[in-house]
Amino acid sequence: MIARALVVLGGGGHAAVVIEEATRAGFVVLGYLDDGEPGPRHARVDGMVHLGRLGDLALVRRRHPHAEVHAAVGAAELRDAWLAAAEAAGATLATVVAASAQVSPSASIGPGSFVGPRAVIAARASLGRGVLVNTAAVIEHDVVVDDLAHVASGAVVCGGARVGRSAHVAAGSTVPVGMVVPAAGSARIQGSTHQGVRSDPTSGS
């Protein structure tokens, strides 16, 4: 079996997680592109190469034409722009699923999405393009998570619920059965008590 080569866009904390989990899942990570200078706040992963700035993607693609690309950034607007840039450069969007995640064979996960360690994607769940499901989050049966949405660490989306495009479900919160989280909103829910939905797609982890 030929290993899949991967170039990661982004050099922050989320990128470091993606790089480690992609490596565990069998990718050969060639390096990452980021506009910041390599340093303590960037993807300090042993042996990882800073390939250049985000604008260098076309050049990197010429050097590594078979490499897939993953946009590793929490902000939905940036993730959308980086995914579009990768597609414009002719790259395949890599979906990265942590080796410790549990994914039902009847679930579907869109291109460019990330499923973190110990996350659960249950039967007939559907994740769109560029979705983030962070550490130990649970996506229950028949849930739909629309493009670019972010289900943060430890959150639970109960059966039949829907998370709208670019929405953010906060860490540790619960989306009740059948609830619809509006696009670009953040569900702040404890147990079965709905404490409000607000537009803040960049908060939490």
Structure token pair of residue 27: 């990718």
Q: Mark which of 56, 74, 94 sits at the end of a domain.
A: 94
The pLDDT tens digits for 136-148 are 999 999 999 999 9
**Under a CB-based contact definition with an 8 Å cutoff, are residues 64 and 49 in contact?**
no
Q: Mark which of 49, 65, 94 sits at the end of a domain.
A: 94
| DSSP annotation string for 33-53 | E-SSPSSTTS---TT--EEE-
Domain that holds residue 32: 5-94
* CATH number of 152's domain: 2.160.10.10
Q: What is the pLDDT of residue 48?
A: 80
CB atoms within 10 A of CB 204: 20
Q: What is the mean pLDDT of the chain?
A: 88
Q: What is the pLDDT of residue 49?
A: 87
| 85, 15: one domain | yes
The pLDDT tens digits for 15-63 are 999 999 999 999 999 999 998 766 555 555 666 888 999 999 999 999 9
CA distance 158 to 196: 17
DSSP state for residue 162 in the 8-state scheme: E
Mean pLDDT of 85-103: 97
Phi, psi of 70, deg, nearest 5: -130, 130
| 44, 87: one domain | yes
pTM over the 0.85 mark: yes
CA distance 127 to 168: 14
* CATH number of 62's domain: 3.40.50.20
**Under a CB-based contact definition with an 8 Å cutoff, are residues 196 and 176 in contact?**
no
